[in-house]
Amino acid sequence: MDSGTVVAGQVQALLGLPGVADAVEEARGACTQLRWHQALRRRIPEAAAESRVRGATASALLEGAEPAGSQGTVALVRDLVRGAASWPAKPDPVERVLRSAVQVTAATESATGAALTTPAQLLAGLHVAAAAGLLPAEQVGRPRQPGETSAEFEEFLGEAMPAEGLPDRLHLVYDLLATLRTGGSALVVAALVHAELVTVRPFVTGNGLVARALERVVHRVGGLDPTGVAVPELGHAQKVGADYRGALTAYSQGGADGVRLWLLHCAEAAVTGAGAGTAVADAVLAGRLT
């Protein structure tokens, strides 16, 4: 029995944890309802583009990046994406993170099912989008090397694992992604790879941005949200991310209870994301996007 078969069996077994199968089914139902929204018959690209605007905004908020000023952050990001506003020539730290969130969320648009057959390249591409401008060029698009660490999430997850242990944990991520080709639950796989990337922190910085972008990709190419209009990042950012951080902490501590809590959180985030996607589709249908 190969490692991929073992991982596929483990993914399936997680649906047997108390409440998980029901939560996954609720998320699937919410995303299916969104899929058949009237606005998405002909205007998927417009709605998906707005979803990425709102997803990038929420992902940046989870990184602590919320620009000051009277203009709403979503409106600012929308204007930046469409070229109605310009990025500062010398961005401050908040603006750099916001730009990274926009770049990596935009990069999810081009990811296809075929990209999952080369997961290392997919991760590298997402990290290039996320970390360009945040790290020196020699640290962009590759995992940490011996002697390098990551300070991200230390306040609640502790120190990142040494770089020497990264290959084995990244191969687990690759095996998880491979289960999508044999019918693995897109929600469960997306949740697990998200948590693994945040827990392991394979990159010097940009791990959370890449993890949330990869979750968005898996939801779409895995068939949970094939239109790409849901906004799962918004579900994670609710309550300013307190639930998100708590669920990640539980996952990192190991054990079935921690994994269960994280999966339930991700299922709830997917339901919230589908609701946000419905709001986007309603606005597109009514011509109310600004």
Which residues neighbour 180 within 8 Å (Cβ) at sequence distance 6 or greater?
113, 116, 186, 189, 218, 221, 222
- How far is it, in rounded angstroms, from Cα 207 to Cα 167? 16
Q: Please return the burial class of 254, using the count of CB atoms within 10 Å of its CB with bins 0-12, 13-18 and 19+.
A: exposed
Following CA atoms 209, 16, 242, 87 in sequence, which dihedral angle do they give, to the nearest 10 degrees?
Answer: 20
| Residues 92-123: b if buried by 16+ CB within 10 A, e if exposed | eeebbbbbbbbbbbbbbeebeeebbeebeebb
Q: Which two tokens stand for residue 49?
A: 């583009």
Share of the chain above pLDDT 70, in %: 96
Decide if pLDDT at 4 tops 60: no
The CATH code of the domain that includes 273 is 1.10.3290.10
Burial annotation 142-179 (CB, 10 A radius, 16+ → b, else e)? bbbeeeeebebbeeebeebbebeebeebbebbbbbbbb
Give the pLDDT of residue 45.
95
The Cα–Cα gap between 273 and 232 comes to: 4
pLDDT-derived band at 197, boundaries 50, 70, 90: very high
Please give the share of the chain, as a percent, with pLDDT higher than 90: 84
pLDDT surpasses 50 at 268: yes
Q: What digits encode the pLDDT tens for the residues 127-186?
A: 999 999 899 999 999 999 999 999 999 999 999 999 999 999 999 999 999 999 888 999
As a whole number, mean pLDDT of residues 52-68 equals 90
pLDDT of residue 69: 53
Domain that holds residue 123: 3-286
Confidence band, pLDDT 50/70/90 cuts, at residue 288: confident
What is the average pLDDT across 223-235?
Answer: 97
Q: State the total domains in the chain.
A: 1
Judged against a pLDDT cut of 80, whether residue 256 lies above it is answered with yes
> What pLDDT was estimated at residue 175?
96
The sign one gets for the Cα dihedral 128, 134, 237, 144 is positive
